[in-house]
Structure 1
Amino acid sequence: MHSPLRIAFFGSSLVSSYWNGAATYYRGIVRALHQRGHHVTFFEPDAFERQQHRDIEDPDWAKVVVYPAHGEADAASALEQARGADLIVKASGVGVFDEFLEREVLALRSPTTWIAFWDVDAPATLERMLADPNDALRAHVPRYDLVLTYGGGQRVIDAYRGLGARECVPIYNALDPETHHPVAVDHRFAADLGFLGNRLPDREARVRRFFFDAASKAPEFDYLLGGSGWDDVELPSNVTRLGHVSTRDHNAFNCSAHMVLNINRDSMARFGFSPPTRVFEAAGAGACLVTDAWDGIEMFLEPGREVLIADSAEQVNQHLRAIGPVLARQIGERARSRMLREHTYAHRVAQLESLLEARLRAAA
């Protein structure tokens, strides 16, 4: 970019991953923007006990504004602080006052301020809007200067264009090599297969199918379950429950299990081209990654060489039986090399800058 941008970002949380799977994505994007000289202020509500479960202190690569979540007046006050920024982003899934923010942020547009909607869960957002003609967000989509998405490929682009979006561009998840990298094995996380993911209604059935069923069918293996919400679930005897795993332990988790499992949420699997942050975290740490099958995986990692694909619990266990430590390490190292070569947040922010420059030229 010719000159640094002042960017105001309304999201769920930059400083806490507690019930906030988008934290890794936000941190990667915002840190990379800072490294390119841009100034980001991240506005997040004091909600869902996230401030009590912080993973990081306020970083030096962003200004964090935590606003109260008592009423819409609190959100309105935060919006007023963002007035005058070059780019104001409303992310999906802030968690409180989303409808209010999605409507009122548009009042901050000016000839020198662009307003973007950044959908960090595009498949689910689109399925919700397409199922309900009266969904509040539908009316606002055509009014945003730009819709950015965390993934979703051509189906997501076409769906947003069908709802009147002026422009829709996926900015895929990526690796922040400063945050996710190989570390020493930590025996707390030693297992044959590790899975890290919060219990969510649109993923639970797939977790049961790919993880719990795999554990039930292979009592000779040890399975490790990390993430919030699983406390009252009856688990097979060879599954160890960890509860919430802080982001500061993710590298150790990914480096200590023989293999790491990724399980997509229903809507992301249906749309494809929506690799979650876990894929990049695990690959960046050099883990041998097994993922459930979804369209577009080969755009990020080569199946069989850089990642293992499973269509069932039986296939998960086949991989555990067939892949020894040496080959598992080779698969993880290839995945890490591919990420560093093509899929870092520096790559994503360069793409975003090119997009904004093209719009600046068009506006001029």
Structure 2
Amino acid sequence: MTQPFTLVVLGLSLSSSWGNGHATTFRALLRGLREDGHRILFLERDVPWYAEHRDLPDPDFCTLEFYTSLEDLRRYQPAMASADAVVVGSFVPEGVKIIDFVAAIAPKALCFYDIDTPVTLSRLDQGHEDYLSKRQIPLFDVYFSFSGGKVLDLLENRYGAKRAEALHCSVDPAQHFNTGEAIEWDLGYLGTYSSDRQPALERLLIEPARRLPDLRFVVAGAQFPDDIDWPANVERFEHLPPSRHASFYSRQRFTLNITRRDMIDLGWSPSVRLFEAAACGTAIISDRWRGLGELMPEDEAILMGDTTEEVVRHLTSLPETKRQAIAEAAHKRVLTAHTGRARAREMINAIEGTRPVLSHSIAVR
């Protein structure tokens, strides 16, 4: 039994899932940590955008508190100094200053959780250092990366990380499961608008909708421009809170997974939506990137959709028994290896690995 840890986490948002994928990622991870008895203080910058769209203002799996500025954050200095680890997330406002502040406290373990690794490295190479500076990467005892594979070697060998560990996003099975509702849509997509994902959405959902007017499609997500020409058979939802994700996925025959360009370029970067859909027993059609087959083998647990024609063929020609078998294979994989509790144990094991004295006295699960 692992000795319970006390963690302080500074992240972009836990309280609001509006327009970001961080909240659901943190929620699954922190729930998993709490299930294993760990205690978490989550510190979130109080900003108007998230304050106006909070769908989890009072979580039951951690203590959530808000701060208004770096100066205000100083009141949590004693908690950071006594914690077993302090974890700073990507895209935290004034992240560079906050990392310097936390590093000066000299916590027992200082970690970074990059939920945007490909984006982060691209920004750093372009000289953008708003939430992380290149000089700060060697400060972390563990650099937890949303992306795995060759990205970990890149972090250690090019950017000087002491230890880079993959910590993919995950899913909470208590929140994401098949609801048993009747199928309403043949193909759906859930995701905030992104200009680099939009061409794939046009090719893999909007154009198939035009070619298959008798089938039903759905797109849920915020910030889509008003000038998009949605076909009449594409239903739109502006925003779906996480509490409605299970119902949304359960009512689809297939769901579409689309990956941002930076993540395709580096590979090994699964979206949280991939795991959510699989946990709900929905068959997934995905764009192609390196490392995906290691998580979900092609034609066994996932279908590839590189072109409009491929998506049309999946929607119109795949036998129902094959669709169900693919969905079930993905479901089993996710519940075995990609739950929040599984990720929590990966995180704790990595942190323990930075403390050799403790490793002799603590039995790791």
TM-score, scaled relative to structure 2: 0.91
Instruction: Report the Cα offset of residue 239 of structure 1.
Output: 1.6
Corresponding position of 1:109: 106
Corresponding position of 2:355: 360
Instruction: Report the Cα offset of residue 133 of structure 1.
Output: 8.5
1:221 counterpart letter in structure 2: L
In 1, Cα distance between the equivalents of 2:196 and 2:98? Answer: 25
Corresponding position of 2:58: 58
Question: What SS does the corresponding residue of 1:54 show, helix, strand or coil?
Answer: coil
Pairing 1:199–2:193 present: yes
Structure 1 residues 78, 318: closer, same or farther in 2, change over 3 A? farther
In 2, Cα distance between the equivalents of 1:343 and 1:129? Answer: 29
1:197 counterpart letter in structure 2: G
In 2, Cα distance between the equivalents of 1:125 and 1:259? Answer: 31
Corresponding position of 2:49: 49
In 2, Cα distance between the equivalents of 1:243 and 1:85? Answer: 39
1:22-41 alignment, distance < 5 Å = 22-41=22-41
Instruction: Report the Cα offset of residue 154 of structure 1.
Output: 1.9
1:225 counterpart letter in structure 2: V
Over residues 136-190 of structure 1, what are the superposed CA-to-partner deviations in whole Å (9 max), with x where a residue is unaligned? Answer: 6101111122211112322343234311111110112223211111103267xx2
Question: What SS does the corresponding residue of 1:283 show, helix, strand or coil?
Answer: helix
Q: Is the 8 A contact 1:156 1:271 kept in 2?
A: no
Question: What SS does the corresponding residue of 2:103 show, helix, strand or coil?
Answer: helix
Corresponding position of 1:91: 89
Structure 1 residues 133, 327: closer, same or farther in 2, change over 3 A? closer
Identity value in percent: 29
Deviation larger for 316-325 or 268-277: 316-325
Pairing 1:179–2:175 present: yes
Over residues 222-262 of structure 1, what are the superposed CA-to-partner deviations in whole Å (9 max), with x where a residue is unaligned? Answer: 21010001251332232221110111110011110111111
In 2, Cα distance between the equivalents of 1:132 and 1:326? Answer: 51
In 1, Cα distance between the equivalents of 2:261 and 2:207? Answer: 17
Q: 1:209 aligns with which of 195, 200, 203?
A: 203
TM-score, scaled relative to structure 1: 0.91
Bigger relative contact order, structure 1 or 2, given CA contacts below 8 A and separation 6+?
2
Corresponding position of 1:225: 219
Pairing 1:295–2:293 present: no
Structure 1 residues 226, 78: closer, same or farther in 2, change over 3 A? farther
Deviation larger for 243-252 or 229-238: 229-238
In 1, Cα distance between the equivalents of 2:267 and 2:71? Answer: 38
Q: Is the 8 A contact 2:352 2:358 kept in 1?
A: no
Q: 1:275 aligns with which of 270, 274, 299?
A: 270
1:3 counterpart letter in structure 2: Q
1:311-330 alignment, distance < 5 Å = 311-330=306-325
Pairing 1:159–2:155 present: yes
1:7 counterpart letter in structure 2: L
Instruction: Report the Cα offset of residue 313 of structure 1.
Output: 2.1
Deviation larger for 235-244 or 318-327: 318-327
Structure 1 residues 160, 244: closer, same or farther in 2, change over 3 A? farther
In 1, Cα distance between the equivalents of 2:357 and 2:213? Answer: 61
Instruction: Report the Cα offset of residue 265 of structure 1.
Output: 0.8
Instruction: Report the Cα offset of residue 91 of structure 1.
Output: 0.3
Question: What SS does the corresponding residue of 1:53 show, helix, strand or coil?
Answer: coil
Which consecutive residues of structure 1, in runs of 5 or more, have no partner in the other structure? none
Deviation larger for 348-357 or 140-149: 348-357
Over residues 280-333 of structure 1, what are the superposed CA-to-partner deviations in whole Å (9 max), with x where a residue is unaligned? Answer: 000000001111111111221121121111112221111101224443223212
Structure 1 residues 160, 222: closer, same or farther in 2, change over 3 A? farther
How big is the alpha-carbon RMSD for the aligned residues of Structure 1 and Structure 2?
2.2
Question: What SS does the corresponding residue of 2:355 show, helix, strand or coil?
Answer: helix
Aligned length: 357
In 2, Cα distance between the equivalents of 1:98 and 1:207? Answer: 32
Q: Is the 8 A contact 1:186 1:253 kept in 2?
A: no
Q: Is the 8 A contact 1:182 1:284 kept in 2?
A: yes
Over residues 251-278 of structure 1, what are the superposed CA-to-partner deviations in whole Å (9 max), with x where a residue is unaligned? Answer: 0111101111110111111111111000
Instruction: Report the Cα offset of residue 57 of structure 1.
Output: 4.2
1:240 counterpart letter in structure 2: E
In 1, Cα distance between the equivalents of 2:182 and 2:133? Answer: 45
1:73 counterpart letter in structure 2: E
